[in-house]
Amino acid sequence: MSISLLLLAASASLPCPSPPPLRRGIHRGLTPVRASLPRLGLAASRGVGGESRLVETRRGRAPAAVGVSAEGDDGGGGVRTGITAAAAATVVLAVMNRVLYKLALVPMKDYPFFLAQVLTFGYVIVYFSILFIRYRAGIVSKEMLAIPKSRFMLIGLLEAMGVASGMAAAAMLPGPSIPVLSQSFLVWQLILSVVILGRKYRANQILGCLLVTTGVILSVVSGGTGGPFLSDVNFFWPAVLMASSACQAGASVIKEFVFIDGAKRLEGKRPDIFVVNSFGSGFQALFVFLLLPFLSNLKGIPLAELPAYVNRGAACFLNIGGNLNGCPGAPLLPLLFITMNMAFNISVLNLVKMSTALVASLTSTLAVPLSIYVLSLPLPYMPGGTSLSTSFLVGVGVLVLGLLLYNLPQNSADQVKND
């Protein structure tokens, strides 16, 4: 969550899902992590309130990632429609999130670290408040809250490590290289979903993901500013940034595993997204707090000066005190960004619950060139706009080609894998 926000200050884009058919070619295998799942096939049904549920079927295992029954009934079409709507909403929210982040940095240009910490710690309060309301309303059950917290602790640790290593690398790398190297997130996610979840991908899906990554890199490089790239940089720091992407990718894949394993524990009903959001964000905030002296020093803020920095950042955020002339657009723009960022994070996790972490990443990746295009237009507090090169359009074309290649239909015989 936070690493993308911290890295975006140096580029015109942030850190990936696509229409529902993307999940159609994914096969799940039995690995040590998933060996505890039933040997019976998993198919989708519609539960109370229209929620997608996984139920057992003896006919075979439908691709659980698709959420479509093995017999291709009408319920499967409804699930595909739901994933399509969720993916479209995620793309729209991702674009608005990136655009509003750049606008929020207009008043908060001197306090991006403060804004990042508002997100990290503020979300814990908001998410747990929503979780409490949903628990009192009966939406969240005691069984959901009883899910082992060790996996949420691992999610929080990985995300905090991603923040720390990403900030360390970003301080040593030229700005244009950061969004490019961050695209390794998608590759890591592909690898880790195979290792952790035992998922199998067809050759066209792997090639499609690589084309999507290539297209984003072309779009970001052509749409970004000039300047030094990586010719004079030691390989160590690019490796650290890619390792931070691996931490973030690992956290997203483990969230998907929580939904899969939760369906087994809850007799087919997947955990509520606010259970995952709340406890994951809580442990992330805990580890970020422990790393705060290290993180503040990376941003050039000695620990002794951190309280004064926070006071100045809060005054700018609220547009009060002596910062009235230096924080145009506050508090409206920062509050709009925080609201949109929360909606985007909820939308992404909901898409992970309905499909897979990789699909959610591909969908968010599609928003990167769209965001660059919107940011090239004249906007409030960012007048003038910029022109985009031909290579930007080429990058967008490669990205779309990758999504289409990933989404190539497969033979019906491959869609159901019997035990």
Of 353 and 45, the one with more pLDDT: 353
- Whole-number pLDDT of residue 365: 87
Please provide the average confidence, as pLDDT, over all residues in the chain. Answer: 78
Phi and psi for 206 in degrees, rounded to 5?
A: -65, -45
pLDDT at residue 10 greater than cutoff 50: no
Residue 417: which pLDDT band, with cuts at 50, 70 and 90?
very low
The pLDDT value recorded for residue 284 is 96
The predicted-structure confidence for 123-162, as pLDDT tens digits, reads as follows 999 999 999 999 999 999 999 999 999 999 999 999 999 9
User: pTM for this structure?
Assistant: 0.74
Tokens (6 digits) for 107: 């008043």
Q: What is the DSSP string of 143-183?
A: HHHTS-THHHHHHHHHHHHHHHHHHHHHTTS-TTHHHHHTT
Give the mean pLDDT of 163-192: 85
Lowest mean pLDDT segment, chosen from 179-193, 315-329, 405-419 = 405-419
Q: Which of 109-123, 232-246, 325-339 has the lowest mean pLDDT?
A: 232-246
Q: How far apart are CA 406 and CA 390, in angstroms?
A: 25
pLDDT digits 0-9 by tens, 218-227: 888 765 544 4
pLDDT for 160 equals 94
Which pLDDT belongs to residue 174? 76
Residues 6 or more apart whose CB falls under 8 angstroms from that of 232 comprise: none
Tell me the β-bridge partners of 43. Answer: 55
3-state secondary structure (DSSP) of residue 310: helix
d(CA 36, CA 322): 60
- pLDDT of 67 reads 33
Crossing angle of helices 332-354 and 357-375, rounded to 10°: 150
- Report how far apart, in Å, the C-alpha atoms of 38 and of each of 30, 35, 61 are: 10, 8, 10
HEC sequence for 22-66: HHHHCEECCCCCCCCCCCCEEEEEECHHHCEEEEEECCCECCCCC
| SS3 category, 229 | coil
pLDDT 10s digits, 45-70: 333 333 333 333 333 333 333 332 33
Contact 156, 283 (CB under 8 A): yes
Report d(CA 335, CA 346) in Å as an integer.
Answer: 17
* Report for 30-34, 58-62, 116-120, 222-226: range of highest mean pLDDT: 116-120
Cross-strand partners of 42: 56
What the block records as the tokens of 149 is: 């917290």
Q: DSSP for 382-402? A: B-S--PPPHHHHHHHHHHHHH
Q: What pLDDT, on the 0 to 100 scale, is given for residue 38?
A: 35
Least confident piece of the model among 46-50, 179-183, 371-375? 46-50
